[in-house]
Chains A and B, each alone.
Chain A
Amino acid sequence: MGSTLHRTELQGYAYATRSSHRQSARLLARHDDAGLRIEIQGDGKAVIGGAYLSQVTIDPPLGRSPRKLTLPDGTVFETDDHEGIKQLTGRTHGTVLHDIEAFRPRLFGVIALCLAATWVLWRYGLDIMVAVAIAFTPAILVEQIDNGTLKTMDFAMAKPSELSDGDKAEVTQIYRKLLASLPEAEREKHSFDLQFRNMPGVGPNAFALPGGTMVMTDALAETFSDPDVIAGVLGHEIGHVVEEHGLKRLYRSLSLYVLIAFLAGDTGPILEDVILEGNLLLSLSFSRAQETSADRFGLALAKEAGFNPSGLLLFFETLQNAYGGREPTQWMSTHPSSSERLRAIEAFIDTL
């Protein structure tokens, strides 16, 4: 029967299987009983290959680059006749995508959507990714992080505490009082544990590890005898633990790094550095926001536990007087600048 109602002919080039041998060729298509059959012919009607269209691999359209058909035996037919291919194959895998990509006014919608999505990803998406990652982090792992960090610290920079048992007991009591004011659920979620270390060179300070371990330097207890100050500093550190700042920062920087590496792709030489530097500045601002948040948490907790919240104020004022004038400008730092921080603390105490 072999009806030839729609006889299609496309001009292009053909490659033999696994070879760079290239020749001008044409593609002929006709319907027969088993379906639409295509045949590739070289010069002088020599048949290079043929197959039913259903067996042919059709590369999805991509811009105006040549369309490519690969026959089951590996023969390749390539053509710039985009209209012809469209009529031959109808809608194929990838046609929708190709449509959306076309440079038309509609693309402005895509741009707007893209900018909005970038903003949403930055503002909320990262937080959600981080929250999911934290939810999937087993508690035992977080405890292990604490153990590992403590061991490294003891090895590298910390010595056993030289405080008297009486001093330690006093501080521990303040710590217990603060913890008692925490909601029951928070107390059970983290394994709070206060450690004393002698860390020369670090000065009066305390820091929290993600699992709830807290390290206080001897210098802090020696410099400040006022329980309100100790309560203010420890409250701040408890804030870091309860609000899971350590894990959040870790996961956030990891996901940002991976996202930028894979999304931005090949941005070219200088631009990559611009992105990385911008990212660093943004992560500093994130870290400053965490400090402010922990300040507020600590102030509220200290007040709740019956301490005078202005203890934290006294702590920073003393530090500023001792080490004053030696801090980097705000935007370069992981911590809010002291004067700014003092003002914020004062303002927040007023609202308590």
Chain B
Amino acid sequence: MSIGLPSDAKPFKFKGNAREWFGIWIVNLLLSILTIGIYSAWAKVRAKKYFCNNTYVEGRNFDYHATGKQILIGRLIIIAFFVVFQVILTTAPVLGLILAVGLIFAYPWLIVRSMQFNARMTSFSNVRFGFVGTTGQAVLVFLIYPILMALTLYTTFPIWDRAVKRFSIDNHKLGQARFKFDAGLGAFYKALLAALTWILAVGVIGVLVTGFSFSAFYIALDNAESDPGVAIAAVGLIYLMFFAAILPAAFIYQALVRNEVYNTTTLEGGHRFASCVSAPRLLWLAISNMVVVVFTLFLMLPWAQVRMARYLTSHTGLIPGDTLDEFVNQQQAEGSAAGDAYTDLEGIDVGLPV
């Protein structure tokens, strides 16, 4: 399955190691707990900086420039807003509902602000990234497309997914040089088809091997309330389905799409990218990481993160066109740390996909 990077590609390299990152991580955690979360803003900066600083390509590394103070202020604004919103929602439900509808429209705006902030705070080879996406585009990608997708019973999911990636990549810049995304729709549908094929195959094999009968299962479920054993069996079956069918399918889709996205992305100046991650490897890494982390009471989390970073970077490459010496910084709006805090809280990933 492993195809490898093209011969002219310079692989990314993660030079951090688990021991070192563990020390930083555990001190971050301790200080965050002792300050009931306040230090977590500085901890975030240190963590991001560590991963940026240790990611290299062609001997140059990334850097992260936000300050703890910026992050903290952003978080306080979002928490204050969150509390006020909760209060309004419980005390004046009607007003709260109107506000909630308003929030739906604030969501794309916050995402754009967050992407701006993250791009501006990250640099490669002394030149800052930039993000020029507009709220209008974000409304289209994060509100209108999902509605259309639901109306078409999610058969248009690949179209939406491609739109999200195009929005992210086409709007990013390194200095004044623009990124350009040019993946065909076919590859996205092929990835989805591969994932669905996996689910179907596992389902068919599962039914054949175990002699599982849907009707018997439904009858059993109807009586589940009186027999806790059935309920446990049902929960077990759902988990089995999740780990055997759905999770691998998700990784198949993600791996195929990631490769396609990198392989068709260019950066002004004749630079191209390459990616050759494999779904089985990614799945293995994710599951073994999870098991190790849970069984070590999260103490091995830094090790797991370094392991994942190493795999991803070593399977991502830059195919330099001209020289990497000619990027120049550009003045640009900084976005807002509040947007960043919002995406942190909601667990939305807006960072640069390395």
B114 to chain A, nearest CB (A): 14
List, in ascending order, chain A residues with CB within 8 A of B30's CB: 110, 113-114, 117
* In the complex, chain B residues 1-57 whose Cβ is within 8 Å of any chain A Cβ: 15-16, 19-24, 26-27, 29-30, 32-34, 36-37, 40, 43-44, 46-47, 49-50, 53-54
Q: A113-130 vs B: 1/0 string, CB under 8 Å? A: 111011001000100010
List, in ascending order, chain A residues with CB within 8 A of B175's CB: 20
* In the complex, chain B residues 114-139 whose Cβ is within 8 Å of any chain A Cβ: 124-127
Q: Are B326 and A268 in touch, CB under 8 angstroms?
A: no
Q: Are B126 and A19 in touch, CB under 8 angstroms?
A: yes
List, in ascending order, chain B residues with CB within 8 A of A147's CB: 91
B82 to chain A, nearest CB (A): 8
Q: Are B36 and A274 in touch, CB under 8 angstroms?
A: no
Q: B310-354 vs A: 1/0 string, CB under 8 Å? A: 000000000000001111110000000000000011010000000
- Which of A66, A102, A118 is B33 in contact with, Cβ under 8 Å? A118
Q: A251-264 vs B: 1/0 string, CB under 8 Å? A: 00010001101110
The answer to the question of A21 belonging to the interface, with a C-beta cut-off of 8 Å to chain B, is yes
Number of A-B contacts (CB under 8 A): 167
B253 to chain A, nearest CB (A): 13
- Which of A64, A121, A254, A326 is B20 in contact with, Cβ under 8 Å? A64
A101 touching B27 in the complex, CB below 8 Å, given contacts A19-B327, A258-B79 = yes
List, in ascending order, chain A residues with CB within 8 A of B293's CB: 267, 271
The complex places the Cα of A148 from the Cα of B20 at a distance, in Å, of 52
Segment from B99-107, B155-163, B207-215, B301-309 that makes contact with A: B301-309
Q: Are B347 and A270 in touch, CB under 8 angstroms?
A: no
Residue of B nearest to A262 (CB): B40
List, in ascending order, chain B residues with CB within 8 A of A325's CB: 225-226
Q: Are A329 and B91 in touch, CB under 8 angstroms?
A: no
List, in ascending order, chain A residues with CB within 8 A of B43's CB: 265
Q: Are B286 and A151 in touch, CB under 8 angstroms?
A: no
Q: Are B90 and A148 in touch, CB under 8 angstroms?
A: yes
* In the complex, chain A residues 222-256 whose Cβ is within 8 Å of any chain B Cβ: 250, 254
* In the complex, chain A residues 259-314 whose Cβ is within 8 Å of any chain B Cβ: 259, 261-263, 265-272, 274
Q: Are A20 and B124 in touch, CB under 8 angstroms?
A: yes
The answer to the question of A180 belonging to the interface, with a C-beta cut-off of 8 Å to chain B, is no
Q: Are B93 and A62 in touch, CB under 8 angstroms?
A: no
The answer to the question of A139 belonging to the interface, with a C-beta cut-off of 8 Å to chain B, is no
Q: A153-183 vs B: 1/0 string, CB under 8 Å? A: 0000000000000000000000000000000
A56 to chain B, nearest CB (A): 16
List, in ascending order, chain A residues with CB within 8 A of B36's CB: 121, 125, 129, 259
Q: Are B33 and A20 in touch, CB under 8 angstroms?
A: no
Q: Are B26 and A107 in touch, CB under 8 angstroms?
A: yes
Majority SS of interface residues in chain B? Answer: helix
A100 touching B44 in the complex, CB below 8 Å, given contacts A20-B175, A266-B305, A268-B308 = no
The answer to the question of A328 belonging to the interface, with a C-beta cut-off of 8 Å to chain B, is yes
A79 to chain B, nearest CB (A): 13
- Which of B79, B93, B127, B226 is A326 in contact with, Cβ under 8 Å? B226
Q: Are A63 and B27 in touch, CB under 8 angstroms?
A: no
Q: Are A63 and B304 in touch, CB under 8 angstroms?
A: no
Q: Are B47 and A265 in touch, CB under 8 angstroms?
A: yes
List, in ascending order, chain B residues with CB within 8 A of A254's CB: 82-83, 86
List, in ascending order, chain A residues with CB within 8 A of B23's CB: 100-103, 107
The answer to the question of B77 belonging to the interface, with a C-beta cut-off of 8 Å to chain A, is no
List, in ascending order, chain B residues with CB within 8 A of A250's CB: 86
List, in ascending order, chain B residues with CB within 8 A of A7's CB: none
List, in ascending order, chain A residues with CB within 8 A of B232's CB: 329
Q: Are A268 and B289 in touch, CB under 8 angstroms?
A: yes
List, in ascending order, chain B residues with CB within 8 A of A328's CB: 228, 231
List, in ascending order, chain B residues with CB within 8 A of A66's CB: 53, 61
The complex places the Cα of A125 from the Cα of B24 at a distance, in Å, of 24
The complex places the Cα of A147 from the Cα of B305 at a distance, in Å, of 48
Q: Are B90 and A62 in touch, CB under 8 angstroms?
A: no
Residue of B nearest to A143 (CB): B91
Q: Are B86 and A20 in touch, CB under 8 angstroms?
A: no
Residue of B nearest to A103 (CB): B19
- Which of A20, A103, A267 is B125 in contact with, Cβ under 8 Å? A20
The complex places the Cα of A129 from the Cα of B37 at a distance, in Å, of 11
The complex places the Cα of A113 from the Cα of B31 at a distance, in Å, of 10
The answer to the question of A111 belonging to the interface, with a C-beta cut-off of 8 Å to chain B, is yes
List, in ascending order, chain A residues with CB within 8 A of B200's CB: none
The answer to the question of A6 belonging to the interface, with a C-beta cut-off of 8 Å to chain B, is no
- Which of B15, B24, B33 is A62 in contact with, Cβ under 8 Å? B24
* In the complex, chain A residues 70-118 whose Cβ is within 8 Å of any chain B Cβ: 76, 97, 100-103, 107, 110-111, 113-115, 117-118
Q: Are B299 and A111 in touch, CB under 8 angstroms?
A: yes
Q: Are B61 and A18 in touch, CB under 8 angstroms?
A: no
The answer to the question of B172 belonging to the interface, with a C-beta cut-off of 8 Å to chain A, is no
Q: Are A272 and B347 in touch, CB under 8 angstroms?
A: yes
Q: Are B32 and A62 in touch, CB under 8 angstroms?
A: no
The answer to the question of B144 belonging to the interface, with a C-beta cut-off of 8 Å to chain A, is no
- Which of B26, B32, B53, B294 is A263 in contact with, Cβ under 8 Å? B32
List, in ascending order, chain B residues with CB within 8 A of A110's CB: 26-27, 30
- Which of A18, A152, A269 is B328 in contact with, Cβ under 8 Å? A18
Q: Are A22 and B325 in touch, CB under 8 angstroms?
A: yes
A76 touching B290 in the complex, CB below 8 Å, given contacts A102-B23, A114-B26, A270-B247 = no
The answer to the question of B113 belonging to the interface, with a C-beta cut-off of 8 Å to chain A, is no
A121 touching B93 in the complex, CB below 8 Å, given contacts A19-B127, A20-B328, A274-B294 = no
The complex places the Cα of A113 from the Cα of B299 at a distance, in Å, of 13
- Which of B26, B47, B86, B305 is A111 in contact with, Cβ under 8 Å? B26
A20 touching B93 in the complex, CB below 8 Å, given contacts A15-B125, A263-B33, A270-B247 = no
Given A19-B126, A100-B23, A103-B19, 5 extra CB contacts under 8 A: A63-B24, A148-B92, A258-B345, A272-B347, A326-B226
20 pairs across A/B with beta carbons < 8 Å? A19-B127, A20-B324, A22-B324, A62-B49, A62-B53, A63-B16, A65-B61, A100-B27, A111-B26, A111-B299, A114-B33, A117-B34, A121-B36, A148-B91, A149-B90, A151-B93, A254-B82, A258-B79, A271-B290, A329-B231
